[in-house]
Structure 1
Amino acid sequence: MDFEKYNLLKNKEIAKILDGDETFGDFESTNANPYFGFSTLKIGLPRLSGREICDVAKMFGSTLEYDGNNSRWQYMFDLIDYGVKSGRIDNMLAYLFDDSNFVRNVNGLNKDEFERFHSKSVESALERINTLLHFGGNKLIIDGKKVHIVSVNPSTPKISVKNVKTIDRNYIKSLSDRAVTNVDSGHYDSALTQARTILEETFDYVLEKRNIQPSSKGDINKLYKQVKDEYKMHENKNADKRINRLLSGLENIVSAVSEMRNKNSDSHGVGESRLTIDKHHARLAVNSATTMADFILSVEKKSAGDNNY
């Protein structure tokens, strides 16, 4: 097995998920005793101190010692390094997601509540990590007692409409809400990545509804051109010029979100071309992508004869 691929996890944003720094909202418990403070229990992987991260490494044979000189994400990098070198990284990651890693912090939950909390936390953490890995063509999956990094598209399957994931306004809103939460939390890089995901998944969906293979995911502008050509979204000289101006603006949204994501998102390192954006700019990118996705879904529904577009 190619364990070197797990080095992709040495990303500060991913480390913050694995060590429990990043959370995904409040867990709504109906049975937990408020005395324990679980009314504000946060969804996410258990928060591990630097010492606890070193203890996890020792469980798998490492001699990693806690010296108090590093940040928690640095100890997580050390954990990943040891796992890769020892060939045990798949088992070590599995432990972080396993329910046995969760029991230390949720003793007040009953069995059903604990299982629901564990499931929601693992699902949310995986989704977030895979958002970060997605544009490199990889994803993290749990397979029993091991966690693997696999290619998203090792081969291109034949598309069948019956297998296409349904994307609707509620789904787009859920993506948008998570992106806005990142904006409010100051995670602008993540919000930009999610803005692009909103567009890309919508473009893929409307093309697949026509049994058309989407072009390479690496170039969202080409993907949008496919959508525009297929659904005949070109400017119409007989249409109101104000409508045509709106349509031309859509292309600007795609280009801007793509460029901002490439130069500022969490999937790229810091460099001379990295942009510095403010909160209102990140929110504008998310809202623009959401509005465009809603419009594209309406175009597809109208094209399919659905009057409720």
Structure 2
Amino acid sequence: MKITEKTIRFLGRALCGDTGLVPYKSGPQLVDFFVNYGADDQYGEGFPSRWRYTEEKIREYNGTKFLKSILEDSVDPRDFMESDINICETIKTFNELLNFDGYELKKVGAFYKIADSKGILVEPETVTGINHDFIQEQIKKCNEKIEQGDFNGAITNARSLAEAVMIEIIEEHEGKEIKNDGKIENLYKQVKKILNLTIDPKTMPQTVLQILSGLDSIVGGLAGLSNNSGDRHANKFNTKKHHARLAVNSTMTLVDFLLESKEYQK
């Protein structure tokens, strides 16, 4: 699902509750809301204004399978029960703008779902079919950011790549869309189980076990480094070029192995 910039700016102020169309959300509540869709932000010093943060997140998710869920969850009737806001008026106002982008919120049972201009419900997008070429393309983009001096951006992209590969593996295994809680370690635990990567001294040589243990360390280190120096957080760490290069190269090793393991399982 993809919307225009004008709609993004409207939703930035609307979804945080500034325009009175949906219940008000504080900064921490907004962070918790977007964590449901894979965000890994933290509320604290340097946090942008609520509407600007919301606008940035909508722009980030525009064109992805998560935007549909964000809009639908923002008008969950249960959130309006203790509010004086008339949800019918909210839906009418939202649709007046969404119609220009070819979408509308349509009532299905007790909830509202995104439909196209013909009234056909928009279904979640299928998994993207990540392959080795996709990985190489993303790593290339990471390296380009490093050469441009955007070390934090490269680390953020590397983590996003690792998350995308893990989510792909989980969704393909479960046959349905999942919600990322923003914790890459949790994704990796699920992936290890799916790919049978549990460390068992009885079935693998010690040298292989050491390498697999190293992958655990990569995931933990990537999570910590991106939390402290990635561009989605206030920078707590003076990131250097070699730190960014280490994160990117480690990520390439990790995701390439996961993809190979998935193909081997097939």
Task: Sort the TM-score into its range (normalised by shorter chain).
Answer: 0.5 to 0.7
Residue 161 (structure 2) aligns with: 198
Which stretches in structure 1 are left out of the alignment for 5+ residues? Answer: 8-80, 90-132, 143-149, 305-309
Note the C-alpha offset of 1:2: 3.9
Shift in CA distance, 161/151, structure 1 to aligned 2, threshold 3 Å: closer
Matches within 5 A, 1:47-196: 139=60, 141=62, 151=67, 153-154=69-70, 163-196=126-159
Note the C-alpha offset of 1:293: 0.4
Distance, in Å, in 1 between the alignment partners of 2:262 and 2:124 is 14
Query: 1:231 is matched by which residue type in structure 2?
Result: L
Residue 255 (structure 2) aligns with: 293
Residue in structure 2 matching 1:280, options 242, 250, 260: 242
Residue in structure 2 matching 1:224, options 183, 188, 192: 188
Query: 1:279 is matched by which residue type in structure 2?
Result: K
Q: Cα RMSD (Å) of the superposition?
A: 3.3
Shift in CA distance, 141/181, structure 1 to aligned 2, threshold 3 Å: same
Contact 1:188 1:279 in 2 (8 A): yes
Residue in structure 1 matching 2:201, options 233, 237, 250: 237
The structure with higher relative contact order (CA 8 Å, sep 6+) is: 2
Contact 2:195 2:262 in 1 (8 A): yes
Residue 211 (structure 2) aligns with: 246
Query: 2:191 is matched by which residue type in structure 1?
Result: V
Contact 1:264 1:276 in 2 (8 A): yes
Which stretches in structure 2 are left out of the alignment for 5+ residues? Answer: 1-9, 17-48, 74-112, 114-122
Note the C-alpha offset of 1:153: 3.8
Shift in CA distance, 137/284, structure 1 to aligned 2, threshold 3 Å: farther
With normalisation by structure 1, the TM-score equals 0.48
Distance, in Å, in 2 between the alignment partners of 1:161 and 1:229 is 25
Note the C-alpha offset of 1:269: 1.7
Contact 2:146 2:154 in 1 (8 A): yes
Distance, in Å, in 2 between the alignment partners of 1:291 and 1:187 is 21
Note the C-alpha offset of 1:4: 2.3
Distance, in Å, in 2 between the alignment partners of 1:248 and 1:206 is 20
Contact 2:12 2:58 in 1 (8 A): no
Runs of 4+ in 1 over 3 A off after TM superposition: 150-153, 212-215
1:248 match: secondary structure: helix
Distance, in Å, in 2 between the alignment partners of 1:296 and 1:217 is 20
Contact 1:202 1:293 in 2 (8 A): yes
For residues 117-140 of structure 1, the C-alpha deviation after alignment (integer angstroms, 9 at most, x for no partner) is xxxxxxxxxxxxxxxx5xx57636
Query: 2:219 is matched by which residue type in structure 1?
Result: V
Shift in CA distance, 138/153, structure 1 to aligned 2, threshold 3 Å: farther
Residue 4 (structure 1) aligns with: 13
Contact 2:152 2:239 in 1 (8 A): no
Note the C-alpha offset of 1:233: 0.5
Note the C-alpha offset of 1:171: 0.2
Shift in CA distance, 176/233, structure 1 to aligned 2, threshold 3 Å: same
With normalisation by structure 2, the TM-score equals 0.56
Note the C-alpha offset of 1:277: 2.4
Residue 224 (structure 2) aligns with: 259
Residue 265 (structure 2) aligns with: 303
Distance, in Å, in 2 between the alignment partners of 1:171 and 1:235 is 28
Distance, in Å, in 2 between the alignment partners of 1:161 and 1:3 is 22
Shift in CA distance, 236/283, structure 1 to aligned 2, threshold 3 Å: same
| Aligned-pair identity (%) | 24
